[in-house]
Amino acid sequence: MGKAKTTTKPAPAARTAPRQPSEPPRYFNRELSWLKFNERVLGEALDERTPLLERVRFLSIFGSNLDEFFMIRVSGLKRQLEGGAREAPPDGMTPAEQIAAIREQLLPPLRASHECWRARLLPQLRTAGIRVLRYEELKRKQRKLLRQYFEHEIFPVLTPLAFDPGHPFPHISNLSLNLAVAVRTRSEGERFARLKVPPSFPRLLRIPDEERAEKIERLGLEDIAAPNFVWLEEVIAANLDRLFEGVEVVCAYPFRVTRDADIEIEEDEAGDLLIAMSEIVGQRQFGTAVRLEIDAEMPERIQEILIQNLRLAPYQVYRMPSPIGIADVAQLASLDRAELKYPPYTPIVPPILAGDESTFSVLRRRNVVLFHPFDSFNPVVSFIRDAADDPDVLAIKQTLYRVGPNSPVVEALLRARENDKQVSVLVELKARFDEANNIGWARALERAGVHVVYGVMGLKTHAKMSLVVRRERDGIRRYVHLATGNYNPITARVYTDLGYFTADPEIAEDVSDLFNALTGVSQRDSYRKLLVAPTQMRRMLLARIAREVDQQKATGDGYLAFKLNALTDRECIRALYEASCAGVRVDLQIRGICCLKPGVPGMSEHITVTSIVGRFLEHARLFYFRNGGRDELLAGSADLMPRNLDHRFEVLFPIEDPKLLAAVRDEILMLELRDNQKSHRLKPDGAYERVAPKAGQPPVDSQAHFLAHGGRWRHQA
């Protein structure tokens, strides 16, 4: 069967704002920078130092990241291409240029990912006793057993859909795996059919060793204990004669379609946001196609049928060796093979919170910082549970962005309502890909009598806040938990985040005012200690950067250190460039997207940018200002992106206690900046290089250090 060549045909130029000649050299493109981040994820799959099944997991993450990138970012560019971009990005690239550049930059790591699977991981998995076989490699007895399994379990679920004058081209749902089947009849010649691979079965089917096949008396995957697998679509393709009886099956090739999944809703036209979001979530399966992945061996005639009927251009087609949908190898990472995974760890409850003393009693005396996942998330859950059961607690106010299923936080809030507390919860229904979960929790909370609100029109609420109001002997006291991450105990075990407990009256007053702004009609734009977006966060951060410039001019000791997920905001980048030109030393640790160009003479020679990709997802946001020795440290939920600063409710909170500030600065931020094992340095040309220890330097793996020592805060012992 011949192979078709797919050309990189650029899309037509979109209407966009004119380029500014001085702008492009100053910024990296946002989308291309994200692709570099995903290459660093792939690097963990290639790294022989990473345990084998964790490497498989990183390969899966690389694939699932790309799926979301196409569903959201590429689809957005395509919409701009068709409707006209309202504003050019900082780098000045048009949507058409970005789409073409994305394809060009993406093809090498795509090939590398498949080579990683085929040439590295598969042989090493086989050596470890885990075999993923092609159907052609199976022994006769194994094929016989799988044929029986196909007949009894898979066959009844399958529905082939023909495409001919009497049958319209079938809808291909988002990210579904399909077989493009060509059959030949005596009277009509070759015809096309589409067969959806049912998602109700595991993508990798377990198969028996040959010597075990005769011993298996009953069908069912649970009866096949040997860790040997075959791809589900290959089993189906090998048994197509049962579906297409009386005709010749010419060929069958897997393919997958990615669709626009970026939900848009006109909030001012929605009578009920909860109902509107419930109705729109399911539309992700029907968005415009933005990518077609096909098997490398698919004939051109079949490819053309798909392209024409999906209304795609050749540049949207990605022809790669199977398996298509590499994210599904995550199934292997769940195997019970502890020796092939990271060593287990137990998060620590800081001693100050581990005794019999209540959290409220502790917080009356001191503030507490938690560093997840090294510190346990249980104290956060206990804080809300204790508030729910405490007869002196009058009210609980809470934001929920991504809480996940079976949420103990929501359960505690429901219990608080049962105990006749006043409970107000802001549930962000527009948290992308968590809408269904949040809709379900919102309805459950409403049924229990909780005051549920959905935020402010036109803005997402991304701030992480919990407020407990308690009657005490000396009057009403408020207790607060603020965080950089979500109220989700599952992600709290894999994301690095800071949580902060305090009874500071000014912070508590700020949080109370902010809840009033979110749930009522308050338009407050100033706060005592919090930096709040979209009202004043950008302005106050820029003022602090300018203050550091003044300090540099006065004393020569200006220094900034920021830890973020992303840096794309043009104003903030310009301010950092100006700080560098003034001589301020700037250390940035940006996990993902970074549009700032570091190390450019005359612009950013005093700026370094590093990125850590490792066992845990770096997620905390920290802003450190030396401020002439009057150190200031802020933490919170906001990245330096226009969406965070202009289109979301975000909070940055100060860590003022000298011991806590020094601990977070030295034991977390500065240690991570010294990482030379899992860190990559961004170069002026946009490439990343692994950081290696210099001569005489000890190796520093920050996450490994935190596993060994994190959580044992000296000042909290």
DSSP 320-335: EPSPS-GGGGHHHHTS
pLDDT digits (tens, 9 = 90+) for 161-198: 988 766 788 899 999 999 999 999 887 888 999 999 99
Helices (H), 408-536: 408-418, 435-447, 505-519
Structure confidence at residue 167 (pLDDT): 73
Q: Rounded mean pLDDT of 128-140?
A: 93
Rounded to 5 degrees, φ, ψ at 63 are -70, -45
- Is 250 found in the same domain as 176? yes
Q: Which domain holds residue 657?
A: 532-716
Residue type, 583: G
User: pTM to 2 decimals?
Assistant: 0.90
Q: Does residue 224 lie in a domain region?
A: yes
CA dihedral 662, 664, 665, 668 (to 10 degrees): 140
Alpha carbon distance 383, 480 (integer Å)? 10
Q: Which of 508, 546, 548, 543 is nearest to 527 (CA)?
A: 508
- Is 192 found in the same domain as 154? yes
Annotated catalytic residue, options 114, 372, 462, 619: 462
**Residue 462 catalytic?**
yes
Last residue of a domain, one of 94, 128, 162: 128
Alpha carbon distance 332, 322 (integer Å)? 17
Q: Rounded mean pLDDT of 285-307?
A: 91
Alpha carbon distance 379, 372 (integer Å)? 11
Alpha carbon distance 355, 717 (integer Å)? 11
Q: Which of 542, 484, 534 is nearest to 514 (CA)?
A: 534
Q: Does residue 339 lie in a domain region?
A: no
Q: Which of 695, 705, 696, 560 is nearest to 622 (CA)?
A: 560
Beta strands in 34-150 (DSSP E): 131-133
Alpha carbon distance 224, 642 (integer Å)? 52
662 vs 437, more confident? 662
- Is 516 found in the same domain as 574? no
Instruction: Tell me the angle at which helices 52-69 and 30-46 cross, rounded to the nearest 10 degrees.
Output: 160
459 vs 344, more confident? 344
Q: Does residue 274 lie in a domain region?
A: no
Element housing 399 (H / E): strand 393-400
Structure confidence at residue 685 (pLDDT): 95
Q: Which of 228, 352, 655 is nearest to 483 (CA)?
A: 655
Q: Does residue 328 lie in a domain region?
A: no
Q: Does residue 475 lie in a domain region?
A: yes
Assign residue 492 the CATH number of its domain: 3.30.870.10
- Is 193 found in the same domain as 182? yes
- Is 544 found in the same domain as 513? no
Q: Strand, coil or helix: what is 84?
A: coil
On whether the CB atoms of residues 69 and 261 are closer than 8 A, the answer is: no
- Is 525 found in the same domain as 540? no
- Is 549 found in the same domain as 502? no
In our burial notation (b when 16+ CB lie closer than 10 A, e otherwise), range 252-279 reads bbbbbbbbbbebeeeeeeeeebbebbbe
Please tell me what DSSP assigns to residue 679. E
Token pair, residue 684, equals: 């002026």
Assign residue 52 the CATH number of its domain: 1.20.58.310
- Is 306 found in the same domain as 175? yes
Alpha carbon distance 678, 660 (integer Å)? 26
Structurally, the chain folds into a number of domains equal to 4
Q: Does residue 10 lie in a domain region?
A: yes
Q: Does residue 329 lie in a domain region?
A: no
- Is 502 found in the same domain as 399? yes
Residue type, 662: A
Rounded to 5 degrees, φ, ψ at 183 are -125, 160
Q: Rounded mean pLDDT of 623-648?
A: 96
- Is 162 found in the same domain as 119? no
Structure confidence at residue 324 (pLDDT): 95
Question: Mean pLDDT lowest for which of 51-55, 524-528, 633-637?
Answer: 524-528
- Is 655 found in the same domain as 510? no
Q: Does residue 317 lie in a domain region?
A: no
Whole-angstrom CA distances from 512 to 397, 423, 575 are 9, 13, 32
Assign residue 190 the CATH number of its domain: 3.30.1840.10
The answer to whether residue 396 scores a pLDDT higher than 80 is yes
Residue in the block written with tokens 């109700």: 200
Per-residue confidence band for 517, with pLDDT thresholds at 50, 70 and 90: confident
Q: Strand, coil or helix: what is 449?
A: coil
